[in-house]
Structure 1
């Protein structure tokens, strides 16, 4: 005990010494600041924070969340918590003396930095990028300008070293890495051809390890390096990965962390690379055994992910009793191994056989039966419409003996086929010994396939495999609130005993009703969250300098809206607050004492002591939220009974259900960020987090996600995981895509879902012309077509378009294009931005403008666009067909960044950016068609030697003279006259024999320089900034001064290059044709 007490005393003394040392350090820095008032004396961001930022901020500045609603309790401030909210408004406590805080509900506390991190949904002390962002935010609030910040290295790493040492440690590895990248890029295709011819790759080049040569190289370097430089460790870019070479290649998570201790990688996600066709499920089984319970398999399209994991059975995995393959198309599996699994029956409205598509075992596809047709497979549950309606309304309706819906069904007593089938699939069989004693149970079907919606939390150790996570997982759900739903809620409130509460809630209902009734569209997509909050706050102001950021503007709107609704509550309750006979809301009063860590100053414990006093008060917004959640519920017992038919039950639910729309709206007003509001005609949409799928996934022992294009950070957000939660990534070594050609037609336009028709220049007609031209160009090939769902199946298609699908469905996870050598994907597909923004807000708490693609949200949307593009490119499975040439046409406004991303992900792919007019003139936009017609007309007239004018060109192309002139001005920075003159001059020169009477050497020196040096070097002058106008003017001056004959000395190649310069808009194919048509220039030799 004495020894323990001695250790405790020493630890306490050390803690106080560290605290005193930190205080002395800060005091010294303050004195230096007084002498030199700048930030230059700060050694770290922490110093700048404590010395320059926090002293300028008041308690109100730091604790800026609009929902606290602080009240004074002694010397402390208490209010609502930005994370858990609370009902009393006393859980969150701030001590103004040192600006520390603590939340009793969340059991967290700290100071300004921890608070801002906590208010943004974080926990503990932020680090790295998060810490820097919060310091920048606090500096902005304090009006402090931060210097260009470079994080300091540890003191033991900073040293002055000779340049030789720097070269050996940094320069040489960096240059070697750059050289390796160049060689790989330059000779990659050659190596691949060698592999295809010989069956093996050339040996990898090795660094020379001869010690004598290394010594000599070191000596040579030392002789030429005497400078001094500062050495810092290199930050390694890219992604570290481990090549799987057999069992034992996969480390545990702790082993992987140790591997990275000596490496300064920017990205630290664990990645295992291997050929899935070679190793099959062996790496997955090893990873499960090593404790990895979350795996993302990103092997490429067509490499066999579904086949391998479909064949992964429970008897192969130790400690696993069941495997489940979850996919939205579980009824129509794409591989045989998945189809062999038992299909878990799911509710549906009737299915029809589609005999044009078949599963690997030859069964016809089962598709939803269109309205008005008789299904081939009847609905398995007679109450399916009632369940669907309840699901859409987010009402808690489930199947089984305890279900209120099933209790009213006459089939429950006699035996429901649907429930019996599910029990049989998910049930067990008892195992008995010779004496008929039960000695165990085995699952009837240990390996099944299912829709994620048809599953419940697992009650046995399960390996869950999820195919195409973006199609399968729902992390948020919208509910649509109409004026009828508000009217039903209002009627329910009218029956409350507490009339004061009822009146408050009814007043709020009227505000929401008026919001929908008086809706005026801000744009064709409706009003987003910001605009709805403006209407709720009865405020619309321009974003001034103070409200420049969306975050500040949202905080301001929340403050105004909250104040407005608090005034509404006070208006109804206020007059009676002094009447002791009125039974008001009661809140207990507490006193608090916080204990701080002596070094970090973070709150360690809080002593809470009730005073015994009850403070009468009016209800807060949190109180109203809690009451709405209790009162606004749908009671199935009051709506349906066993005497109703299934149709009557559904109708009764539609007419009499009650939605709790008030509590999420009040949460948004109160500052809760994970509720998104949007407004359209006659409907308010509320999008909330939905955790059912996440709970199912978290109940599995191990989970594997199959998705080529899924981002690890996005997956964590979808699953509501901590950002440091380990996810093991499987990926494939680089595959050759040299047989794949992508033709991006970026000037086509977006070709979006909203299309006009009625003219040859509208998108509908242009797309039809484009498709017909591709069909004409590839008559003997099988062609696949992807378009938006609203248009994909309405095209009049030729016979060789054998497969048709739509974006978001057939563009990913589909095998129907395996025999297509040509594909057309219409439009640069982007998911609904309003839905994406709402989902993003529910996942992250960040409120964004849907169409403003900046920050993390913008990068998220761009990742999804690239993912959809990569998925559609993978449909023909080019890597599985190396002997076939595959072409994909991509008309749409794809950006250069997106095209570059695809090029980096598909090694060897041939990418062409083609003008629409060059593929199909009728598919080009109107302006482009007009420009090309003018150019073609002028060129044809020049070739036959005709004198042409603006009037003549305008007459031929059917435009006005002024329009022709304007087009020429748009095409080139020169007038029509100069354009025509230069064109005719160059063409005439090109058509001459070019047989000068005098040799080039006999020309005057200045003319010889002009002909032999200046004209051939014109690209250099253009690169240096000289305009085409200046080029033409210089040529005209020389020709006018010395005569047109001097152009006859210019080489044909230079003449053609000049024509190309002045005719830049002409298609590339034209110039290729031009070079083949020009006759060689004869050279006469005198005898």
Structure 2
């Protein structure tokens, strides 16, 4: 490689003109910063306003005039420019592939090949950078994301050295970062060059998967930062206490105190970092140089900075870092923090560097620490030679002109810990507030927009009939836009998307916006032979009148359907369900169409699939299988009691509009995959969907690409017995896994939870390694050993030779043998073990996606179910309908690329006539409630019934048998019109799906649990968002509607983005008897106050103190925390006055709001007993005035709660005079 010409900042680079000309290739919206050999050297380059590209060119060609800190003028030149990534360049992400071994990591993260996008290289082998555009809706969640370095991912690892340190890495750069652009100078290769220029290459839009990965990386950084902040606050408080103790007494026998209070304040950067090969260069407030313990190609990967109370360092390549002690220990070959005598020796060494001697243990009790006079004079003499460092670029520090060279910066900083701690804590409170907002956005809560909210994943196109829409080929590999349309345009937009060749569209319009209604009015194309399918798991009891009227329902195999009392479908007809008991079968209003229906259900539950439409083994031996006979008892041609399913199904298949469950769908004649489109032979019992279109109602529920199989230990023992009898060699080869499996089932694995068993990862972590020939063993089991489904169907004995006068006898014998074979088959099916062992072995051997869960003698598998996706992929067009589904999840269930699905959404209606009351009930943190908590819920419900009467609908969890409910979470909060027009809904509990089952589903679909926590939270919020549309308030804007959600811990403020008014209430606000003990006490006290006032009596404290029932001794001790009775009296007066008077104080400061909202409020919400201590601490540390201002920041209900906590302890001397409480709002509604 040819070495570049030497250059310093005092002259232009030799090819300055060509570098400046290269700016013409750079997009105008990319924000640039000038560079000197890859490095940005301008002050505040990360935050300064955008510099015009013309100015960048001027700086490269002609430089800029500067004045050194010694007053000498000079001209500084630049050698190139870099793009400021992140928000300054409208969401641009730079991906730095620093070595060939980093490429596989990027492909694994993207789950795809490296995309074709704008890219450039430094011309080093294996080095290149990619430009990727972050979608608009992800920019807010990523606003705090700066950079992430990845060296390992899902088992892949970049190149590392012998010590295990990374040599190559993958880096993602976003906010507060920059990347040098071509044709800027590179100090080692000469210059950067484009591989794909912005002039002829589009910047690819970041995929959903990549954005989620970046959010996860950012979350890790934020979590670590928060932990570090909390630890720093703890250490600062501890340090303040220790320092105060030390300064007051001057006594310590702690070497750490000696180091922190005497040595550390005297240490400067040049004293600490004593290796002479660092060659530090100043970059703003950071010193960068070479590390002593390894070679650094850049010479700047060792960073040093002032934290405010000490000097810190980090080796950016290895991640190691620390302070002075860790640096000196690292120089000696150690790692981390030294211990014992090693620690003492390092402290002695640092003490000597600043002119101190480490006192002997007995002299540590002397008053203070005076340095050795001679050493200290020498130290002061050296310090006078150190002048303030000037912040010059790398080349200026290297300049030969000694007069212009800067002296090193004076690094000694006055160690005013108290002031620094105060300032630092204020900053942390602001960061904490920002972090909290970010965490809320990660839970699926959209940000509050200025206009009608329309959250979207990518770019948005407002549909206009005369403007074209994009085609799939135009957006190959790019996330498609969301098409936003006006009411009445839905069918038009869908028809255009079909004509343009889009196979999948996703209608995400708000609940009640008419998705299902319009689907019911959609008519088949008269020029097409295709059908329109309406796939719905609730197809039989359809909740949309147009669908129920116009689509023919696909019959299901059943042994009778019975009406559910009190429930109807959209047409007012009885709500039907399977008749599962003999009594229900007697009451069936739809007679049985298959007397073997229960057998089919048993087989499905055990993991065996039987084609619903063909002549499967059960149908072949059925007495109503009569071939071409037309005697009235042929299931294929007639219907009667116990038969006719095949005939009824054939009649439905002649229709052009059909509603059905995907499990009842005919087998597709052609099965397509994501990578190819292999054709399945078209047989008599398959169906060609290639001309058909469809709607998928409640897509997140209807479309399920997974299924579960469960077996108990007895079933598994039977299956292993079959293996042993079939092939002893295979049985022995799998003996280790078999023994481990039964140990897990019996609860004998030490690491498994005694109650909940083991999740997939816990099971797999302890599982033995599969044998190398596991695929062969499984193949053998499938082919020859384990019982196949067809083996259990008993063929009747044949009867031949009985003709003529013996024909009737022959017919009788055949009927007898058939009946006997059926009984034998039914017995075999009852004893048939679940089809689970092969699946378990394949998941264990990582031969198929899935999840294993073991609990209490029960094995549960979650495996992929390809059939729903196969059916839908066979259609010409599929419209997915769901107001709250996740497109990536839908794509995973479908088995397609998320970018093959185009979103459409009707303009969201205003819902400003709906109020959601987020009601906190003590004890509802989980969905397991104590008897006391249940009583509180009953009290709240009774209060609402009294207020709303018949206009109240009640929703709850399935096991909420202590209250009378009208529907259940997960079922009646979505896809139903049962609550339309109800003025109020009371919903009890959180809609939390079984976390284990949902995690297994996620793992099966995605192959990783990464991102699951965010997904799980989004499912809870999705159920709530479904609920808020059930009353259809937007269709009745002249009336007000309200929903009460009873829970503890849910954050619902994000619903305000929909125009909804969100109120936070305590259960006590609705019904005093639903409050906590403290709130009930407060209520009683309020009643007492009111009684005395109403009767004109003077408030006598002794009467009220008697209600509190506390001793005077305890009250005296309590009051001391607040500066005695006088201080406590002022606090109580402030709280009581807030109930009666408006707050006329000046607006609170940010810090006061932070203390109220981030400090006091969470305690009142979660740990009320600690709130009183918190107020005491504020009074002691901040003073009374600030404490009172903080209390004023609380809402009235929270002030009431705090008042109750205080009044539970007050003596008669405390209550301030005659205080009226007549203005107190008890209901809160």
Q: TM-score, structure 2 length as denominator?
A: 0.53
Indicate yes or no: 2:972 matched with 1:810: yes
Contact 2:148 2:172 in 1 (8 A): no
Indicate yes or no: 2:501 matched with 1:271: no
Question: 1:81-111 deviations in whole A, cap 9, x for unaligned?
Answer: xxxxxxxxxxxxxxxxxxxxxxxxxxxxxx6
Indicate yes or no: 2:942 matched with 1:772: yes
Indicate yes or no: 2:861 matched with 1:706: no
| Pick aligned residue for 1:484 from 714, 719, 725 | 714
Pick closer, same or farther for the CA change 1:857–1:296 going to 2, 3 Å.
same
1:667 aligns with 842
Question: 1:490-539 deviations in whole A, cap 9, x for unaligned?
Answer: 2212322x432233235543432232123576165442112222443xxx
Indicate yes or no: 2:1202 matched with 1:1065: yes
Alpha-carbon distance between aligned partners in 2 of 1:903 and 1:133, rounded to the nearest angstrom: 37
Question: 1:676-695 deviations in whole A, cap 9, x for unaligned?
Answer: 11111120111111111111
1:100 aligns with none
Alpha-carbon distance between aligned partners in 2 of 1:1022 and 1:132, rounded to the nearest angstrom: 34
Q: CA deviation at 1:746?
A: 3.6
2:1002 aligns with 840
1:344 aligns with 554
Indicate yes or no: 2:682 matched with 1:527: no
What's the secondary structure of 1:1065's corresponding residue?
helix
| Pick aligned residue for 1:859 from 1010, 1014, 1036 | 1014
2:1061 aligns with 910
Q: CA deviation at 1:409?
A: 1.2
Q: CA deviation at 1:917?
A: 1.4
Q: CA deviation at 1:410?
A: 0.9
Q: CA deviation at 1:251?
A: 3.2
Contact 1:351 1:377 in 2 (8 A): yes
Q: CA deviation at 1:817?
A: 0.4
Q: CA deviation at 1:964?
A: 7.9
Pick closer, same or farther for the CA change 1:478–1:401 going to 2, 3 Å.
closer
Indicate yes or no: 2:532 matched with 1:323: yes
Contact 2:716 2:833 in 1 (8 A): no
Alpha-carbon distance between aligned partners in 1 of 2:1086 and 2:758, rounded to the nearest angstrom: 45
Indicate yes or no: 2:101 matched with 1:114: no
1:830 aligns with 992
Contact 2:922 2:1048 in 1 (8 A): yes
Pick closer, same or farther for the CA change 1:880–1:152 going to 2, 3 Å.
same
Q: CA deviation at 1:738?
A: 1.2
2:734 aligns with 505
Indicate yes or no: 2:885 matched with 1:655: no
Q: Which moved more, 1:643-652 or 1:865-874?
A: 643-652
What's the secondary structure of 1:309's corresponding residue?
helix
Q: CA deviation at 1:376?
A: 2.6
Q: CA deviation at 1:468?
A: 0.4
Contact 2:486 2:907 in 1 (8 A): yes
Pick closer, same or farther for the CA change 1:389–1:640 going to 2, 3 Å.
farther
Indicate yes or no: 2:547 matched with 1:367: no
Alpha-carbon distance between aligned partners in 2 of 1:735 and 1:1067, rounded to the nearest angstrom: 42
1:734 aligns with 908
Alpha-carbon distance between aligned partners in 1 of 2:1032 and 2:998, rounded to the nearest angstrom: 29
Alpha-carbon distance between aligned partners in 2 of 1:237 and 1:363, rounded to the nearest angstrom: 39
What's the secondary structure of 2:1003's corresponding residue?
helix
Alpha-carbon distance between aligned partners in 2 of 1:741 and 1:887, rounded to the nearest angstrom: 5
2:604 aligns with 391
Indicate yes or no: 2:471 matched with 1:240: no
Alpha-carbon distance between aligned partners in 2 of 1:305 and 1:387, rounded to the nearest angstrom: 34
2:499 aligns with 289
Alpha-carbon distance between aligned partners in 2 of 1:873 and 1:282, rounded to the nearest angstrom: 28
Indicate yes or no: 2:954 matched with 1:788: no
| Pick aligned residue for 2:1130 from 951, 963, 982 | 982
Q: CA deviation at 1:829?
A: 1.0
Contact 2:95 2:172 in 1 (8 A): no
Question: 1:888-923 deviations in whole A, cap 9, x for unaligned?
Answer: 001113543xx243222x1x2111111221122222
Q: CA deviation at 1:355?
A: 5.5
| Pick aligned residue for 1:632 from 783, 786, 792 | 786
Alpha-carbon distance between aligned partners in 1 of 2:776 and 2:936, rounded to the nearest angstrom: 58
Contact 1:113 1:135 in 2 (8 A): no
Alpha-carbon distance between aligned partners in 2 of 1:990 and 1:719, rounded to the nearest angstrom: 57
Pick closer, same or farther for the CA change 1:362–1:514 going to 2, 3 Å.
same
Contact 2:1078 2:1204 in 1 (8 A): no
Alpha-carbon distance between aligned partners in 2 of 1:450 and 1:810, rounded to the nearest angstrom: 20
2:1054 aligns with 901
Alpha-carbon distance between aligned partners in 2 of 1:355 and 1:1061, rounded to the nearest angstrom: 45
| Pick aligned residue for 1:149 from 166, 169, 173 | 173
1:694 aligns with 869
Contact 1:270 1:727 in 2 (8 A): no
Pick closer, same or farther for the CA change 1:117–1:632 going to 2, 3 Å.
farther
Contact 2:554 2:658 in 1 (8 A): yes
Equivalent residue runs for 1:178-327 within 5 Å = 239-246=458-465, 248-255=467-474, 268-276=479-487, 278-315=488-525, 319=528, 321-327=530-536
Greater relative contact order (Cα < 8 A, sep 6+) = 1
| Pick aligned residue for 1:455 from 659, 665, 690 | 665
Contact 2:755 2:855 in 1 (8 A): no
1:203 aligns with none
Alpha-carbon distance between aligned partners in 2 of 1:420 and 1:1063, rounded to the nearest angstrom: 68
Pick closer, same or farther for the CA change 1:1030–1:682 going to 2, 3 Å.
closer
1:1005 aligns with none
| Pick aligned residue for 2:1072 from 921, 925, 938 | 921
Pick closer, same or farther for the CA change 1:875–1:534 going to 2, 3 Å.
same
Alpha-carbon distance between aligned partners in 2 of 1:335 and 1:914, rounded to the nearest angstrom: 35
Q: CA deviation at 1:475?
A: 1.1
Question: 1:204-238 deviations in whole A, cap 9, x for unaligned?
Answer: xxxxxxxxxxxxxxxxxxxxxxxxxxxxxxxx997
| Pick aligned residue for 1:884 from 1025, 1039, 1047 | 1039
1:379 aligns with 592
Q: CA deviation at 1:770?
A: 1.2
Q: CA deviation at 1:396?
A: 2.9
Q: CA deviation at 1:254?
A: 4.3
| Pick aligned residue for 1:469 from 673, 683, 699 | 699
1:353 aligns with 563
Q: TM-score, structure 1 length as denominator?
A: 0.60
What's the secondary structure of 2:1101's corresponding residue?
coil
Question: 1:159-178 deviations in whole A, cap 9, x for unaligned?
Answer: 9xxxxxxxxxxxxxxxxxxx
Alpha-carbon distance between aligned partners in 2 of 1:860 and 1:447, rounded to the nearest angstrom: 35
Alpha-carbon distance between aligned partners in 1 of 2:1150 and 2:742, rounded to the nearest angstrom: 68
Alpha-carbon distance between aligned partners in 1 of 2:763 and 2:788, rounded to the nearest angstrom: 27
Cα RMSD between the aligned structures?
A: 4.9
Q: Which runs of 5+ in 1 are unaligned?
A: 1-30, 34-39, 55-110, 160-235, 261-267, 429-442, 537-560, 567-618, 798-802, 849-854, 993-1011, 1039-1049, 1080-1087
Alpha-carbon distance between aligned partners in 1 of 2:743 and 2:461, rounded to the nearest angstrom: 60
Question: 1:396-431 deviations in whole A, cap 9, x for unaligned?
Answer: 323456311111211112411578655565569xxx
Indicate yes or no: 2:773 matched with 1:620: yes
Contact 2:106 2:114 in 1 (8 A): no
Pick closer, same or farther for the CA change 1:113–1:834 going to 2, 3 Å.
same
Alpha-carbon distance between aligned partners in 2 of 1:637 and 1:324, rounded to the nearest angstrom: 36
Alpha-carbon distance between aligned partners in 2 of 1:629 and 1:965, rounded to the nearest angstrom: 80
Question: 1:1024-1082 deviations in whole A, cap 9, x for unaligned?
Answer: 979855887899999xxxxxxxxxxx99xx999999998673599x9xx9899599xxx
